[in-house]
């Protein structure tokens, strides 16, 4: 079983839509959780960390369910510029330890 599993996508949504991505992780010892964004032919960049209580950053809301080992990302009022691949990322143990990446979910927002 893979360390991190994500919705395969792709997701194609109109501008203004709300879209949700899901992710599960296999190791209950995982301590830190992130969503990264990767544009085509670019490096991944941190979108947001995911905290146990859930957190919001503008149009983006992340949720963590430790009991179910489940992470989600909600994007409201989608913009064309949100088109990218979204990577679910998990860190096990040490705060500076290695990261485990999901395969990524591709989002295309159309006008």
Partner 1 sequence: SAVISQKPSRDICQRGTSLTIQCQVDSQVTMMFWYRQQPGQSLTLIATANQGSEATYESGFVIDKFPISRPNLTFSTLTVSNMSPEDSSIYLCSGSGTVELNTEAFFGQGTRLTVV
Interface pick for partner 1 out of 87, 90, 107, 109 (rule CB under 8 A): 87
Q: How far is the CB of 41 from partner 1 (least distance, A)?
A: 8
d(CA 8, CA 105): 6
Q: How far is the CB of 105 from partner 1 (least distance, A)?
A: 11
46 binds partner 1 (CB under 8 A): yes
Instruction: Kindly report whether the peptide bond that precedes residue 10 is cis, defined as omega within 30 degrees of 0.
Output: yes
Of the two residues 17 and 83, which places its CB atom closer to partner 1 in the complex? 83
102 binds partner 1 (CB under 8 A): yes
Site for partner 1 (CB under 8 A): how many residues?
21
Of the two residues 44 and 82, which places its CB atom closer to partner 1 in the complex? 44
Q: How far is the CB of 30 from partner 1 (least distance, A)?
A: 14
- Are 87 and 38 spatial neighbours (Cβ–Cβ below 8 Å)? yes
98 binds partner 1 (CB under 8 A): yes
Cα–Cα nearest to 100, from 69, 78, 77, 76:
69
Three-class SS state of 58: coil
d(CA 86, CA 83): 9
């Amino acid at each position: 079983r893979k360390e991190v599993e994500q919705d395969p996508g792709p997701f194609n949504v109109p501008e203004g839509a709300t879209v949700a991505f899901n992710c599960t992780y296999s190791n209950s010892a995982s301590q830190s959780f992130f969503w990264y964004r990767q544009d085509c032919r670019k490096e991944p960049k941190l979108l947001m960390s995911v905290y146990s209580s859930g957190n919001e950053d503008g149009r983006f809301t992340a949720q963590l369910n430790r009991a179910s080992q489940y992470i989600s990302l909600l994007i409201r009022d989608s913009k064309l510029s949100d088109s990218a691949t979204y990577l679910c990322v998990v860190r096990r143990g040490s705060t500076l330890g290695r990261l485990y990446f999901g395969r990524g979910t591709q989002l295309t927002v159309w006008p």
